[in-house]
Structure 1
């Protein structure tokens, strides 16, 4: 079996998976509006095709995007029989909303017929793209790709060392973004050094964590042991998004209750000094609130927080402990 699909322009496939019915779904992009391609919004669109078991029949096809360049790089079938697609979008019209400037990673959830259920443009004002996406064991998603942004939803970018006055940063970081089942960001993490670090693929591991593979020419920051030029760079993340080289010192014992919480949480410690602070951080790494501890027991108002997961960081002198809680 072989099959040519497309029109008179530049039409390319980036990802294919076999579907539960024995057929296939293909994701890539198309820049024309003839031949097999219909519904193009202008420029290059995501082009998604559902094929039968021998690839000879197109069950359905979808052009997704806006008036600029929108490129799909990864597709997976989801547990509900639909599909999750990841790539990049330069558009901010048509099917694309919420672009932060420049190129954003664009995540699109489709139902089994290829119709959009939701879409999310993710990133900052520079170049952000998703090269691989998986559905995770909790029903959410993990997208990985690359970023040169350090604003918007991107926090922790490692600035390049190869730029002079007036030059724009050209070096990528790995960018990992954990999404809920409906596309809300649960956490994000930039990984890399001052060179260029480009993530290509991600899998979930049996312990609930993740392994990301790509390439890197850095030899600082998160990257060590580079052999010269670009190396394959493999990174293991724990389930809670802390890289294996991240250290959280549990020098103090801390209980948080209730957890999940609604209007208030109480933290109870086994150690206290007047210099100790507690900082509340969201899963994008933003500081939401900081206050001095009242003593071994401190109450914190959480009524104004949006639903989601948060980090409590207690520090004082050389003592430190970090724990998470959920706001319902």
Structure 2
């Protein structure tokens, strides 16, 4: 039998064939990645060639870059657009708006050597021979070239396609630029970091602290983020010392700059307590007012997206009534509040276009008053409610959009427990409440319940003195607790912001911060910004124009902010964590009474507008 064997040449040939087949198989498996890397190679080569061309022009002109147009605060893009400011891409959402203080420039023929996207005199150079300008191989967002210059310094950027070419320890991170995700080259790193981050989908956190007020009192009670990522603040203010309070609503962009504001009211005190955005892009605000009957009446106002008043209605009785919360359902708005004289929860469903009641109902018990603090619309169309029963116990309920009770429970322990805020966590609920601590002071209680109101767990947060909760927010990796404290090291009452882990069996505080000065500072609302930061709203007596000013504090996602004044500071606080102990859950039967024919809903004959002339002061514009 002949023995099988390979000669050296045959072995080399076999190995070569296998290598070729392997390379072909790799290319066949990842052809898109092959083309991405090929385009990235061209991008890097293009920008380096453009850099060399500009360096030659600067050398020819003794340190000056000859330009064909003014370039102050302009970012030039290789994109083709009939709009010179690239508005087609911006309006379509394909291109993020330019950074504050900058403009974009596009060209309708970006490869034109004279009128293309690069505003540099390439024609008169004896050293540069370009017949057309270089543009990105795809030249469609996010893949395009950018150029920025101050006349001497310049920088080019490109966003690379291959995942291996961006991020830490990649070509993009080793180019000595600002961003690990954008390729940068030039003689200086002068591109705004917010522009570089927007190219790579990274949102730059923005932090700010601002007061808005007059010589007297102004207070923010709630804040939301609307569908355009603007912040809308609901509250009230006085237009002069000792005057009546007027309703006040402010809209700010995500950098804290005023877009619109409106303040209005009747001939007595008017207060907004809460706000929601409506499906038509406008806003529904609720609270109470003395302008109709002289006592507090529940009030609701519908505003347009530009904060113009659509309608304003007063509801209730001749005694003290108010709204604290609302939700929108498909066929109306449902508002929740309280009738103090009879101690019953008050819920009204109104027409979206007019504010006229569709029904008005009272909810009560035979054993104590019942008060609503917050409502949440559930995915199934029902409504969850949190409040207080008998002035000392947490009340949780569910109703449908017709006001029919589906569930009602109260939760009790030693001491007083008042449920003030609620958020949804999957099929569970997290309730934030005030409770009497072991040392007799007010502490913060967190109560987690399931979809049927059964207790999962509870925790108490406490320090040396008083802690108050006004808002709880469920976020991806924890719960945010917002309120105020006068526990050390607070100088007086300070804003309190705490983040806790969701796992109650292994409970931990992720961070705990206070913000304030020598005066009393009270946080009343909070929302998560589009950048993951946290906006706190409330009022301060530590800084500003008057005895109380609206104070907005926007931190990063870790609660950090750098104040540019010593009048207010950020500090850490030492909260302790404990179980409250035995906590009982008990069904609470409710009586429901339709009072649509008994309670009024009326408009004012005349309304005063824009009586508040406010001053604005900034205390921060940076996070660290």
Query: Which interval holds the TM-score relative to the shorter structure?
Result: 0.5 to 0.7
Separation (CA, whole Å) in 2 of partners of 1:233 and 1:129 = 18
Find the counterpart in structure 1 of residue 310 from structure 2.
Answer: 117
Find the counterpart in structure 2 of residue 187 from structure 1.
Answer: 359
Map Cα deviations across residues 53-79 of structure 1 (whole Å, 9 max, x no partner).
Answer: 111x11111112112111101111111
Alignment of 1:25-174 (within 5 A): 25-33=232-240, 42-55=243-256, 57-92=257-292, 102-136=295-329, 138-148=330-340, 169=341, 172-174=343-345
Map Cα deviations across residues 256-313 of structure 1 (whole Å, 9 max, x no partner).
Answer: xxxxxxxxxxxxxxxxxxxxxxxxxx964659xxxxxxxxxxxxxxxxxxxxxxxxxx
Would the aligned equivalents of 2:251 and 2:260 in 1 still touch at CA under 8 Å?
yes
Find the counterpart in structure 2 of residue 231 from structure 1.
Answer: 393
Q: Secondary structure at the match of 1:114?
A: coil
Find the counterpart in structure 1 of residue 466 from structure 2.
Answer: none
Separation (CA, whole Å) in 2 of partners of 1:83 and 1:239 = 20
Ranges in structure 2 where 5+ consecutive residues have no aligned partner = 1-207, 409-592, 599-624
Deviation, structure 1 residue 205: 2.0
Deviation, structure 1 residue 25: 0.4
Separation (CA, whole Å) in 1 of partners of 2:361 and 2:270 = 23
Alignment of 1:310-321 (within 5 A): none
Tell me, yes or no, if structure 1 residue 20 matches structure 2 residue 219.
no
Q: Secondary structure at the match of 1:213?
A: strand
Give the direction of change, closer, same or farther, for the CA distance of 1:72–1:285 in structure 2 (3 Å limit).
Answer: closer
Higher relative contact order, chain-length normalized (CA < 8 Å, sep 6+): 2
- Which shows bigger deviation, 115-124 or 235-244? 235-244
- Structure 1 segments, 4+ long, off by >6 Å, are none
Aligned Cα RMSD in Å? 2.4
Would the aligned equivalents of 1:86 and 1:106 in 2 still touch at CA under 8 Å?
yes
Query: Which residue of the other structure, out of 362, 366, 374, is the alignment partner of 1:201?
Result: 374
Find the counterpart in structure 1 of residue 428 from structure 2.
Answer: none
Map Cα deviations across residues 81-117 of structure 1 (whole Å, 9 max, x no partner).
Answer: 111100001003xxxxxx5x62211110011111111
Q: What TM-score, normalized to structure 2?
A: 0.31
Separation (CA, whole Å) in 2 of partners of 1:114 and 1:139 = 22
Would the aligned equivalents of 1:88 and 1:103 in 2 still touch at CA under 8 Å?
yes
Would the aligned equivalents of 1:186 and 1:283 in 2 still touch at CA under 8 Å?
no
Q: Secondary structure at the match of 2:215?
A: coil
Separation (CA, whole Å) in 2 of partners of 1:284 and 1:197 = 17
Would the aligned equivalents of 1:186 and 1:284 in 2 still touch at CA under 8 Å?
no
Find the counterpart in structure 2 of residue 10 from structure 1.
Answer: 217
**Higher relative helix content:** 2
Q: Secondary structure at the match of 1:54?
A: coil
Separation (CA, whole Å) in 2 of partners of 1:88 and 1:285 = 19
Would the aligned equivalents of 2:284 and 2:303 in 1 still touch at CA under 8 Å?
yes
Separation (CA, whole Å) in 2 of partners of 1:144 and 1:105 = 9
Ranges in structure 1 where 5+ consecutive residues have no aligned partner = 35-39, 93-98, 149-168, 218-228, 247-281, 288-328
Would the aligned equivalents of 2:220 and 2:233 in 1 still touch at CA under 8 Å?
yes
Deviation, structure 1 residue 33: 4.4
Would the aligned equivalents of 1:104 and 1:122 in 2 still touch at CA under 8 Å?
yes
Deviation, structure 1 residue 239: 2.9
Q: What is the aligned length?
A: 205
Separation (CA, whole Å) in 2 of partners of 1:188 and 1:212 = 16
